Structure 1
Amino acid sequence: MARVVQITLDCADPAALAEFWAEALGYQVQGPPPGFESWEQALDAMGVPPERRNDASAVVDPSGAGPRVFFQRVPEPKQVKNRVHLDIRAAPGLRDDARMDALEAEAARLVALGAARLTRYEPAPPMGFGHIVMADPEGNEFCLD
């Protein structure tokens, strides 16, 4: 039986990281539960104190096809390189200069949103597929592929 997959990221500021990833992925921040007009209204009704209201956030694919991405606040900062990371497929079907131009354009867009550019890997024969390694605003690595 197939399972529904959710990707979870530990972070210091779930709301801010959710906003970044919503923009990066073309997702939207998940809305409040049914019956509530806002998250503030829902959290009030649930009795969540103000200091705990940024403990979690999530983004969802508006088409419903992609996985939910969940952000949970943790006390410790990121320590080392990610063992698992997201790839944003920003240039599917493109090769060589056209591919790298598309990746550069996406890298510039994401840097404007708060990402950091880490490393560019040039296309190498015989496949001709380069990529760019980036980091989100909290330092989590991801690739533009």
Structure 2
Amino acid sequence: MRVIRKTKPCLMIVAEVESNHNSPVFVNRFIEALFFFGAQFDCLEDCMKNDESNRSIMEAFYFSPGIYNIMTTEGEQRAFRHVKVVVWRSCFLRFGLIETPLSKASLSQAKLMLKNYSCASSCTIDKDGECLTIGWKGTQLYSLSAWKFK
């Protein structure tokens, strides 16, 4: 955080997975991963053809290593340690960051853009406090928040 503070950014944007893959309890991590990746695969099923190369790339190089790492590794070996925005809020507060509200226009613009896609009815874009969350059929997948130093 000292390095970031020294650059004196006007604003820091954080895009993060909205799931708790950092639990030390395997069962909790498993359930979170099951819902998160289940929603991800369901989204791919609805939005991409089975034989599409981009889908194969997503499954093989993004989802597979994430699932493997979250389910099979412990301690320092686990690289994927996603946490929800509520955890980021308390962490950033300790470092003197203030969550900056995203405008209502940004939420409206995101929802307007979503209407261009056939699977838009399954996707949700909402506000959680001052950040935007993106979900699939009721499961939150990602959050987008803005922060600035006091």
- TM-score with structure 1 setting the length: 0.30
- Say which structure, 1 or 2, has more relative contact order (CA 8 Å, 6+ apart): 2
Whose helix proportion is higher, 1 or 2? 2
